[in-house]
């Protein structure tokens, strides 16, 4: 993931990231600015860049990420997912820096009910991607409708956004 992100960066973006501590001394506003700055690295062909983020909590972000790394090192994650018996759907973009197929393979031994759907022309945020955003909502709506009532016919198409 890091190598993909690094390969997508240019000097202007690196310089912008370097300036963030000066421009945004508060860690929460700096985290939000960083997210806005690197959003294009995670996208393929974004229809919007509005992430509807109200606030960022940098402390929670750092603590959550540190906890995830600890759980992986201790062998708790993803092994603890084996107790999940609910249906699971993973919707992923092939151009997402997060390696979807690899993540799916690591989860399948613990989540055999995992369903995976991947779009080729899509990054990290399918609902923001020009090529797949409508289909994303259709797939999600139909899958959810099938979980609520498996005998129900497929959901109607999503409205255009």
pLDDT, tens only, 126-138: 999 999 999 999 9
- H-helix or E-strand spanning residue 27: helix 27-42
CB-based contacts of 53, cutoff 8 Å, min separation 6: 32, 35
Q: At what angle do helices 27-42 and 11-23 cross, to 10 degrees?
A: 160
Pairing of strands 114-119, 88-93: parallel
Tens-place pLDDT, residues 61-95? 999 999 999 999 999 999 999 999 999 999 999 99
């Amino acid at each position: 993931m890091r190598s993909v992100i690094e390969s997508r960066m240019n000097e202007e973006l690196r310089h912008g990231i370097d300036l963030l501590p000066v421009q945004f001394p508060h860690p929460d506003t700096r985290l939000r600015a960083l997210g806005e700055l690197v959003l294009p690295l995670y996208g393929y062909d974004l229809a919007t860049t509005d992430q509807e983020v109200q606030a960022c909590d940098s402390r929670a972000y750092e603590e959550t990420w540190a906890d995830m790394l600890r759980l992986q090192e201790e062998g708790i994650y993803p092994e603890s997912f084996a107790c999940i018996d609910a249906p699971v759907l993973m919707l992923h973009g092939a151009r997402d820096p997060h390696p979807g197929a690899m993540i799916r393979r690591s989860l399948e031994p613990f989540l055999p009910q995992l369903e995976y759907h991947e779009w080729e022309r899509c990054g990290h945020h399918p609902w923001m991607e020009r090529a797949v955003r409508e289909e994303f909502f259709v797939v999600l709506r139909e899958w959810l409708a099938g979980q609520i009532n498996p005998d129900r016919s497929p959901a109607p198409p999503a409205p255009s956004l």
